[in-house]
Amino acid sequence: MTARSIAMTIDQVAVRFGGLVAISDMSFTVGGGEIVSLIGPNGAGKTTAFNVMTGFLTPSAGRVTYQGTTLTGLKPHEIADLGLIRTFQRTSVFPNDTVYDNLLIGLHRQGRVRLLDAILGLPGARASERRLRLRASELLEWVGLERRAHDAAGSLSYGEQRLVGVALALAAEPSMLLLDEPVSGMNASETHRFVELIRSIRDRGITILLVEHDMPMVMTVSDRIVVLNYGRIIAEGTPDVIRNDPAVIEAYLGHGAGRA
């Protein structure tokens, strides 16, 4: 791998909820334009790590920097303004709105016009509105949901809702995208299409950090994998390295597996 600029640095981050240690000491970096996966058994601290990176949680120690800016103390919407956008495991859509309107809400960062202009319907506000509608249609096409545009997002299948979630995140014009278990609930062909989507996102220069349980998918798509267990990083490297790492195998299968 050639040397790249570093997009995100996670520096000795720890998260404790009272006596419970969710993350004990985590340090790694994500290079610009890279696809990095964060994996580990349930409860390893993956989603907690996401919450720290996007400002939903304040770390007990350590810090996260994104493109040179320290994220500690920033609110989630301020972090979003830096171009660091995430998706969610469960709450991925605005259920009562159509898919198309979901994207218009997601385009919030692109559509900021002065309130008075919008109320008076001034040309600037109208032009901005037209741009947003065009962009929403483009995004729908990108993730392949054109046919569902006018259906309520809450009525879509689970797999389609994940796609809406990703489209929403893309609408916010990320420079780095954090995907939290995006293919859970997808069947094999949906997952396959999703991998293509992730690659096409990366091809547009967007850095991707992925949390995922679907190992074949992670192994296919990642440039690099970071393995968490009990809040600590136990391995880091390319898919080939991770596949054969004894510590990883033990974390996933348990050391009792050999004896049983």
Partner 1 sequence: MKAIITILAVAALASVPLWLRDPYLLNALITTGIFVIGAMSLNLLLGFTGQLSLGHIAFFGIGAYVSALTSLGFDIGLPGDIRLVHAPWPPIAGFVLAILVAGLCGYFVGLLSFRVRGAYFVIVTISFAEVVRLVALNWVELTQGPLALTNIPSIALPLPGFGELMLRTKMQNYYLVLVVALTAYLLIARLVHSHFGRAMRGLMENETLAVSVGIDVTRTLTIAAVISAAIAGAAGSLYAHYIRIIDPEVFAFINTVTMVIMVISGGKGSLAGPVVGGLIFGLLPVALRPVMAPEAQWIAYGGVLMAILFVLPRGIVPSLALRFARRRSGKTALAPVALPETGVKEPA
Interface with partner 1 (CB under 8 A): 54, 56, 75-77, 80-81, 85-88, 91-98, 100-101, 104-106, 108-109, 111-113, 115, 118-121, 125, 128-130, 132-134, 136-137, 140, 149-150, 152, 154-155, 165, 168-169, 171-172
Least Cβ distance, residue 144 to partner 1 (angstroms): 15
Q: Which amino acid is at 199?
A: R
Nearest distance in Å: CB 69, partner 1: 15
Quick one: 35 or 85, whose CB is closer to partner 1? 85
Q: Based on CB atoms, which residue is closest to partner 1, 12 or 96?
A: 96
Question: Nearer to partner 1 by C-beta: 24 or 98?
Answer: 98
CB 229 to partner 1: min, Å? 27
- Between the two ends of the chain, the Cα-to-Cα distance in Å is 40
Q: Find the shortest distance in angstroms from Cβ 56 to partner 1.
A: 8
- Which residue is listed with tokens 């993350």? 23
Our CB check for partner 1 shows the closer of 166 and 225 to be 166
Least separation in angstroms between CB 17 and partner 1: 18
Provide the 10 A C-beta neighbour count for residue 157. Answer: 13
Which of 231, 232, 230, 211 is closest to 222 using CA atoms? 211
Distances (CA, A) of 138 to 19, 93, 131, 168: 48, 18, 11, 12
Neighbouring-strand partners of residue 13: 26
**Residue 25 or 78: which CB sits closer to partner 1?**
78
Q: Return the biggest CA–CA distance within the chain.
A: 74
Nearest distance, CB of residue 73 and partner 1, angstroms: 15
209 DSSP β-pair partners: 36, 178
Nearer Cβ to partner 1 (1/115): 115
Name the residue nearer to partner 1 (CB basis): 207 or 229: 207
Q: What is the distance between the alpha carbons of residues 225 and 120, in angstroms, rounded to a whole number?
A: 51
Nearest residue to 61 via CA among 26, 19, 9, 30: 26
> Can you read off the two tokens belonging to residue 3?
């040397």
State whether residue 111 is helix, strand or coil: coil
The nearest distance, CB 149 to partner 1, in angstroms, is 7
Residues with Cβ within 8 Å of residue 123, at least 6 apart in sequence: none
